[in-house]
């Protein structure tokens, strides 16, 4: 057996011991504190190695962050302002923690807005744009959009419409640290392309062109993230990329309206059938005395119902028949009175032949209580003397009197009166339709007005409209 096989490790075994809990290691701070060579104030550089210029929070001087001694690039030209979100504030947006490292104000000479430069060591830089109403989160694009139809741009399968012309944007105030040498008075040419919820902003400075995508944040998200006061919702001056707050309401109104219309048509169809409950035919003497006929035993259901009285005097020409109706309850003798007129005229003039009038009038009575009724019809017929001889009408064989209107005295006109119950009023259906359509029409108008304001040319003047809407899309 070899020596190697017999060798024994002389080191005694060591008993396993539980290791003490690891002490969390606090990463060294990335903030570098330096003194401003102009005022001596402490300047904190938060993004070391990336920051190019720093604006002193104490005196406003522009400092060169690439030099260890922070040499002064430019002196402050105006008093310092305090941003609503202080420098160094951290907040979480979209699941990422961002720190405010810079702040500047810009203008297009009509309106102004604020931009916060945000920094995350893993994500890089982002912009929080504040237009005074709402916040948008801007991320610089690492790819170029492509041209679409009618001056639009395409990005990730979505189309963005051009908003107005290219316009100059000037920096009016700046403080904090930036990854480029920004200064008051710096001007770029900007072009915007919008779709609801998002904007593509193209900025051109000298020979450099940059693209930024701005996503509109929901109301209160940025305020909650950075601990500032929530803002009141108002839609009098919407941002160019702001979704309409009325779209959801419009969808709901259309759905409810369609359902209501279907119910209306079903109900009107069920209750719209008419049932004949009485009829009589009588003759009226032209220019003769009044005649009265009674239709008895008209049964109406216990519930209130609609009653229709139709008169048919289709044989008349150049004449009219006055019809007085009285629907009387046999038990209470309460009556409902109404009036109808059957008429028809014809003739010819220099423009040719003409006709007018309705020989078959219909009269409707609503909400008649149930019971047994009699209908008293009083009628009288009259000739019209303005008709020409060419407009005379031959009566069918078997009619009483002569063969032609206006020739023989005692000529009669046959009239048939029919009573029906049930059905619905066309005016009520129209009124119900209009009431159902009011809500969708109002929301549609508000949505149209919002879109008109959204795409209107930017103006610094305007009212203080309190128009408010529903939730964003």
Condensed to tens digits (0 to 9), the pLDDT of residues 363-379 reads 988 888 889 999 999 99
Q: How far apart are CA 185 and CA 104, in angstroms?
A: 11
Query: Other C-beta atoms within 10 Å of 415: how many?
Result: 25
Residue 68: half-sphere exposure toward Cβ, Cα within 13 Å? 0
Q: What's the average model confidence in pLDDT over 196-203?
A: 94
The SS3 of residue 224 is: helix
Q: How far apart are CA 417 and CA 326, in angstroms?
A: 13
Q: How far apart are CA 192 and CA 6, in angstroms?
A: 84
Condensed to tens digits (0 to 9), the pLDDT of residues 119-172 reads 999 899 999 999 999 999 999 998 999 988 888 999 999 999 999 899 999 999
**Which domains can be identified in the chain, with CATH numbers?**
32-226 (no CATH), 273-386+398-423 (2.60.120)
Q: How far apart are CA 374 and CA 328, in angstroms?
A: 5
The SS3 of residue 317 is: coil
Alpha carbon 264 to its chain's center: 25
Pair 298, 375: CB distance under 8 Å: yes
Condensed to tens digits (0 to 9), the pLDDT of residues 53-99 reads 676 777 766 666 666 655 544 455 454 678 999 989 999 998 999 99
Amino acid 427: pLDDT: 64
Q: How far apart are CA 368 and CA 390, in angstroms?
A: 45
Pair 56, 43: CB distance under 8 Å: yes
Condensed to tens digits (0 to 9), the pLDDT of residues 214-262 reads 999 999 999 999 999 999 998 888 889 998 888 888 888 888 888 888 8
Q: How far apart are CA 59 and CA 41, in angstroms?
A: 8
Pair 301, 367: CB distance under 8 Å: no
Q: How far apart are CA 44 and CA 33, in angstroms?
A: 4
Size of the chain, expressed as the number of residues it contains: 473
Amino acid 251: pLDDT: 87
pLDDT band per the 50, 70, 90 thresholds, residue 264: confident
Q: In sequence order, what are the beta bridge partners of 269?
A: none
Please return the burial class of 107, using the count of CB atoms within 10 Å of its CB with bins 0-12, 13-18 and 19+: middle
- 9 has a pLDDT exceeding 50: no
Q: How far apart are CA 173 and CA 77, in angstroms?
A: 9
- 466 has a pLDDT exceeding 60: no
């Amino acid at each position: 057996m070899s020596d190697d096989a017999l060798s024994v490790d002389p080191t005694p075994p060591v008993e396993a011991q539980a290791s003490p809990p690891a002490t969390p290691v606090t990463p060294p701070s990335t903030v570098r504190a330096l003194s401003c060579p102009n005022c001596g104030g402490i300047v904190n550089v938060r993004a070391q190695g990336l920051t190019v210029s720093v604006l002193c929070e104490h005196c406003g001087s522009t400092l060169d962050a690439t030099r260890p001694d922070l040499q002064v690039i430019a002196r402050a030209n105006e008093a310092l302002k305090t941003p609503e979100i202080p420098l160094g504030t951290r907040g979480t947006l979209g699941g990422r923690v961002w720190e405010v490292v810079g702040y500047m104000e810009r203008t297009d000479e009509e309106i102004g807005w604020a931009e916060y430069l945000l920094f995350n060591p893993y994500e890089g830089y982002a912009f929080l744009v504040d237009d005074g109403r709402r916040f948008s989160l801007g991320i610089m694009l690492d790819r170029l959009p492509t041209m679409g139809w009618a001056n639009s741009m395409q990005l990730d399968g979505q189309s963005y419409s051009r908003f107005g012309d290219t316009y100059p944007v000037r920096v009016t105030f700046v403080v904090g640290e930036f990854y480029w040498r920004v200064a008051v008075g710096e001007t770029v040419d900007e072009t915007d392309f919008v779709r609801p919820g998002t904007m593509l902003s193209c900025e051109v400075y000298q020979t450099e062109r940059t693209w930024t995508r701005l996503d509109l944040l929901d109301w209160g998200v940025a305020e909650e993230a950075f601990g500032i006061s929530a803002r009141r919702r108002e839609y009098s001056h919407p941002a160019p990329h702001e979704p309409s707050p009325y779209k959801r309401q419009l969808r709901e109104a259309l759905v409810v309206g369609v359902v209501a219309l279907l119910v209306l048509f079903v109900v009107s169809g069920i209750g719209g059938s008419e049932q004949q409950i009485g009829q009589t035919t009588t003759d009226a003497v032209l220019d003769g005395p009044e005649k009265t006929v009674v239709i008895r035993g008209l049964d109406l259901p216990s519930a209130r119902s609609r009653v229709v009285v139709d008169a048919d005097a289709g044989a008349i020409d150049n004449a009219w028949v006055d019809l007085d109706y009285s629907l009387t309850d046999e038990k209470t003798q309460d009556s409902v009175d109404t009036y109808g007129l059957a008429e028809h005229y014809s003739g010819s003039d220099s423009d040719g032949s003409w006709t007018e009038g309705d020989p078959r009038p219909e009269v409707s009575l609503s909400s008649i209580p149930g019971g047994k009724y009699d209908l008293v019809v009083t009628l009288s017929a009259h000739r019209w003397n303005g008709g020409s001889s060419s407009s005379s009408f031959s009566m069918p064989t078997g009619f009483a009197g002569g063969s032609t209107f206006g020739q023989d005295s005692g000529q009669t006109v046959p009239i048939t009166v029919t009573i029906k119950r049930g059905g619905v009023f066309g005016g009520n259906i129209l009124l119900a339709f209009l009431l159902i359509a009011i809500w969708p029409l109002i929301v549609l108008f508000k949505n149209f007005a919002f879109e008109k304001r959204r795409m209107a040319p930017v103006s610094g003047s305007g009212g203080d409209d309190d128009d408010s809407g529903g939730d964003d899309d």
